Structure 1
Amino acid sequence: MTLKTLLLSFLTTCTAHSAVAQTLGGVEYSPKATTFHITTSPDVKKVNVLLSDTDSDNSTEQLTKQMKRVGAGKWKLTVKSDLKGKYYLFSVYNSAQPDNTPGIFAKAVGVNGKRGAIVDLRDTDPEGWADDVRPTLNNPCDLVIYEMHHRDFSVDLSSGLKHKGKYLALTEPKAIEHLQRLGVNAVHILPSFDYASVDESKSDVPQYNWGYDPLNYNVPEGSYSTDAATPTTRIREFKQMVQALHRAGIRVILDVVYNHTFDINGSNFQKTYPDYFYRKTAEGKYSDGSGCGNETASEKPLMREFMKESVEYWIKEYHIDGFRFDLMGVHDIETMNEIRAMVDQIDPSIYIYGEGWSAGSCAYPQEKLAMKANTKQLNGIGAFCDDMRDALRGPFSDDHKGGFLIGEPDQEESIKFGIVGAIAHPQIDMTKVNYSREAWTNEPSQMVAYVSCHDDMCLTDRLRATVPYITDDELIRLDLLAQTAVLTSQGVPFILSGEEMLRDKKSVHNSFRSPDSINRLDWNNLKRYPQVFDYYAGLIALRKAHPAFRMGKAEEVRKHLEFVDAPKGVVAFRLKDNAGGDAWRNIYVVLNSQKTPQNVKVAEGSYTKVVANGKVNAEGLGLISGTTLTVAPQSALIVHD
């Protein structure tokens, strides 16, 4: 049987998603029997299951059970006894010496993910889990996403949180209250699956990594739990976190990293089916579009099915509400669309977005990859807008080069492009936009607006790098101006955790393994800079209260959003004629990066200021009459009639 015939047979016979996951290498538990499944290379002659009572490599109580071949590359074993609490490994004879692996779809593991664990997943459900409800979302543009790392958020003494650096920190009243006061309605957690770079057995030793080094894709990371040695604890505590956020009206978005593994030889993919899951160049070398030493092959049927099954599993077992795809540009368009279609059958409100680029050249045609330029071919999937990001603060490639915020010329068009949600708009001159020569979204909901994220200098560090000797006063003015652009743009706004506290990372650009002293949030900043939090919270509340700022359709944006003539270094636009059905008839937004007051001509009328001079008040900050709006230096002005 050829590989092509084998894969066609596999896809034909696997009619249910759950069956695919089990066939790819999973465990079905019941008190009466446990069934093991795995799919290997058709060339494999033998596969055993190694059962043990402990998670130790030196276990003397190891029992070997031979699996039965049930098809080309398919293996199955049923053990008719209660194996709950046991550990297992698949021993795959890819060569004379077997590769031992928990399989590619382990759902529970021991410390550091070396062995699979046999658990009853219903034992991991917190009280009331069956009644957990996903917070309502009518349109992706209603989201305000808050990107956070578990340790960053809670590890510092100043947080006042008990479960520092743990899932359970996000169940504590202080954490929940902070997020609710800020107004965000979605938390994007950095990779929280079982990853390789932190030693879970050393819970008393400070260790840090962002987690973009996957080991077991379908098990929560143990270092964020209170007990990595007990396989059910990490699962239960992750669910408690989701449940607490849901009860607070906050959705949970999981950062997923299917584009590469921590390494090749040590990966469960390679141990299960050597070389199948990775792309190679024409010269036979492993391709490295991820910049991490390898790239996975999403276009291959088994990898595609694995990704679909994994996403579905996180939705159904952990009630996840959205997915951010790391280096989405490594994946093929067809796979991403199949994932979107599968998710739509479960809940169309689950938001999917990703990085519309790769970190290197991929061994697959670029026109078939989920790059930002191909977003129009992605059905309801979003991408980050680096056009607007870099126009605001400067290019990713040069930390010391600034953008609109510090008065760099000719950035206005790129900011306008972000403001409309990266759609085609008659007032946008695409020849002047940073990286795009044509609109790349079908609808504004496909654009994620942001000025900073984990993967770069945070906003305050970037401003300090581009404005030597900047004062705190100027820093805060420019910080607030940047986030005003983000939070008044059409599309989906996204902020990095701690920005509301005027966070810094001591100018470290790539802090993926920097210590807590670099990455942690200093909660004392809430007392030092209360005006920053108040502005962020006020602006988020303004956005949520007024649908003009979050129109979901491109035609609405083209009809109701028009740009107003403005001086250099100023971007001004009008949301007109009750945009989005807003109670305010006309809204003007003016962004002034200049160090002097600037004037913008508007239709004659009487206007109420709601944002001015670094303050937000939806009830009004004063009145302006006439045909001229004057905006203070390095600040935003928002008025309505």
Structure 2
Amino acid sequence: SIATNSGIRNKGKYAGLAERGTKNHQGLSTGLDHLKDLGVTHIHLLPFFDFVSVDEKKPEIPQYNWGYEPLNYNVPEGSYASNGSDGVSRIRELKEMVMAFHSNGLNVVMDVVYNHTMLTEDSYFNQLVPGYYYRHTKDGKFSNATACGNETASERPMMRKFMLESLLYWVKEYHIDGFRFDLMGVHDIETMNLVARELRKIKPGILLYGEGWTAGESPFPEENRALKKFAYKLDDIAVFSDDMRDGMKGSVFLHGENGFVSGRVDRAESVRFGIVAGCRHPQVDYSKVNYSKEPYVRHPTGTITYADCHDNHVLWDKLTLSTPGYTDADRREMYKLALGIVLTSQGIPFLHAGTEFLRTKKGNENSYNAGDSINAIDWELKTKNSDVFAYCKELIRIRKSHPAFRMQRREQVAAHIRFIEGLPAGMIGYTIDGSAVGDHWQKIRVYLNGVNISQSLSLDNQAWRSAIHNNKPGKDALMNTNLLVSPFTCTVLYQKK
């Protein structure tokens, strides 16, 4: 909401996200209306509990931080309220924001950071019972699997109790619909499963997911922690797929490295693994997957499929850095291909805000304190890249309309998705048996071309209609002989009774 062209009055505030009827300078919807029009179901908001780095009592001083600096876990952040000095204001306005989202059919996911605290030795936990709430190394120092100076000990009864009661409070008092757990790999599996069971008693459909990794070594045994490779031990708590993310665009830590969508053919198997959402599939060669050499989830709903998020370079900036010699027109197609992969794969798709119209952070890799000039969403990009927005919106509509893209069981994924073998290098194709999962599209075929070469493919004289053709809505055109697939594109075909 903070951008000058957002058309939102209460910029940077809870109340701003609740405004309706807001538009950019060209009259296109922004804010809440934009999200509703896009068709997404859940809105993940970065931390809005009270954090250290922004002092709401000093609004005249330029301050900015994402908020991964916990202070008071059970208090809304005051800098997002119209009056940060008034406790009632932050409570009322947050509740009004959540109510506005719910009234428009959107669920609210809260980003929570129980893995560490700020201040360490002077933190409220350490003042209460020195040392108890944190893990320590063998020499008695604070361990640091979070790279923030400490890590909490979720396995200890009172820390476990605090996490559970805090989460229950946010659900009961503010009607939060889901939680994203920062560095979830720090937390123990027993606590995470307890949290899941208790939250589902009061909100059965709650969405839970987190980062299945850490930012350093932990003294707590890894087999007991909620790491990605042990996701199968979690009770319907999803983990982010860095296999798919980096398979598509290249490692987030190697800025010049490209991925499948930008011509790297040896990343195709990582993308195939992502398409089946980290499940076991007879046609995936796990030895060729970039990171995970075996399946790690019980069911496809245990995987978050994504291309970018607030961390690291956004997708457009990553493609700009990793594809010298290509034009922006080429990168637009690569970008659309990545959106197509995310929104046609199994698992839970996750989109970074603004990715639907080529958001950029001007090359900033870690913008946690970079201010509004970098982090603000430029709503003029929605006008400039209206074709990308329309394409993303159509992909979301298709996904929501067709259960074949949203299978719930690993057995379904293994039985009803068949990869097409023998395609040219850099091309992935697969067929979904839609009728087997109750879809009115009996068969679906997806082609993903990750190289700068057009491919002519035989359709074996079968009649197909196009839902998406070469990164554009296909308008249900009939095809029955050959299919020409353009460079760096996604195509989705279907057959129905």
1:29-68 correspondence to structure 2 within 5 Å = none
Q: How does 1:250-261 map to 2 (within 5 A)?
A: 250-261=106-117
Provide the TM-score with structure 2 as the length reference. 0.96
Aligned to 1:191: 47
Deviation at 1:176, TM superposition (A): 2.0
Give yes or no for contact 1:166–1:224 (8 Å, CA) kept in 2: yes
Matched, 1:445 2:292: no
Q: Matched residues in 1 for 2:452 and 2:167: separation?
A: 48
Equivalent-residue separation in structure 1 for 2:285 and 2:392 (angstroms): 30
**SS in structure 2 of the partner of residue 575 of structure 1:** strand
Q: Secondary structure at the match of 1:585?
A: strand
Q: Contact 2:264–2:450 (CA<8 Å) still a contact in 1?
A: no
Q: State the match for 1:11 in structure 2.
A: none
> What's 2:330 paired with?
474
- Counting only pairs closer than 5 Å after superposition, residues 292-441 of structure 1 correspond to structure 2 as 292-441=148-297
Residue in structure 2 matching 1:561, options 394, 406, 417? 417
| 1:603–1:297 Cα change, 3 Å | farther
- Indicate the residue corresponding to 2:14 in structure 1: 167
Structure 2: give runs of 5+ residues left out of the alignment.
23-30
Equivalent residue, structure 2, for 1:578: 435
1:244 alignment partner, one of 85, 88, 100: 100
1:614 aligns with 2:468: no
Q: What amino acid does structure 2 have at the position aligned with 1:623? A: L
Q: Which runs of 5+ in 1 are unaligned?
A: 1-153
Encode CA deviations 1:576-617: one digit per residue, 9 max, x unaligned: 252421111111111111111113444541111111133125
Identity %: 46
Q: Does 1:625 align with 2:480?
A: yes
1:516 to 372, 376, 384: 372
**Superposed CA offset, 1:493-552 (max 9, x none):** 001001112110011111100021111111011111110111111110110111111111
Query: What do the CA deviations read for 1:563-586 (whole angstroms, capped 9, x no partner)?
Result: 112211111111125242111111
* CA offset digits 1:59-87 (Å, max 9, x no partner): xxxxxxxxxxxxxxxxxxxxxxxxxxxxx
- Residue of 225, 229, 253 corresponding to 2:85: 229
Is 1:589 aligned with 2:446?
yes
Bigger Rg over Cα: 1
| One-letter code aligned to 1:536 | C
Cross-structure match for 1:273: 129
Report the CA distance between 1:161 and its aligned residue. 0.6
- Tell me the distance in 2 between the aligned counterparts of 1:325 and 1:314: 14
Written as runs of structure 1 = structure 2, the 5 A alignment for 1:101-180 is 154-173=1-20, 174=22, 175-180=31-36
Matched residues in 1 for 2:337 and 2:463: separation? Answer: 24
In 2, Cα distance between the equivalents of 1:466 and 1:579? 40
Which amino acid counterpart does residue 635 of structure 1 have in structure 2?
A: T
Q: Deviations over 1:104-132 (max 9, x none)?
A: xxxxxxxxxxxxxxxxxxxxxxxxxxxxx
Mapped pair 1:289 → 2:289: no
The whole-number CA distance in structure 2 between the counterparts of 1:529 and 1:472 is 12
Aligned partners of 2:133 and 2:478: how far apart in 1?
A: 63
Out of 542-551 and 471-480, give the one that drifted further: 471-480
Q: Is the 8 A contact 2:126 2:133 kept in 1?
A: yes
Is 605-614 or 478-487 further displaced after alignment? Answer: 605-614
Q: Aligned AA for 2:90?
A: R
- 1:203 aligned to 2:59? yes
Work out which of the residue numbers 501, 504, 522 in structure 1 matches 2:357: 501
Is this contact kept in 2: 1:356–1:370, CA < 8 A?
A: yes
Separation in 1, partners of 2:439, 2:409: 15
For the residues of structure 2 that align with 1:369 and 1:604, how far apart are their CA atoms?
52
Amino acid corresponding to residue 158 of structure 1 in structure 2:
N
Per the TM alignment, residue 634 of structure 1 is displaced from its structure 2 partner at its CA by 1.1
2:348 pairs, out of 492, 496, 499, with 492
Deviations, residues 193-215 of structure 1 (Å, cap 9, x unaligned): 00001121122333211100000
For 2:80, give the aligned amino acid: Y
- Any conservation in 2 of the 1:263–1:294 contact (CA below 8 Å)? no
- Deviation at 1:469? 5.1
Runs of 4+ in 1 over 4 A off after TM superposition: none
SS at match of 2:153: coil
TM-score, length-scaled by structure 1: 0.74
Secondary structure of the corresponding residue to residue 185 of structure 2 = helix
1-structure distance, mates of 2:194, 2:258: 39
Distance in 1 between residues matched to 2:325 and 2:164, nearest whole Å: 50
**Aligned mates of 1:603, 1:302 — CA distance in 2:** 64
Contact 2:404 2:434 in 1 (8 A): no
Aligned residues: 485
Deviations 1:363-418 (A, max 9, x none): 20111110000000111110000001000000122111111122113111111111
**Where do 1:531-570 residues align within 5 Å?**
531-565=387-421, 566-570=423-427
Contact between 2:460 and 2:480, CA under 8 Å: does it hold in 1?
no
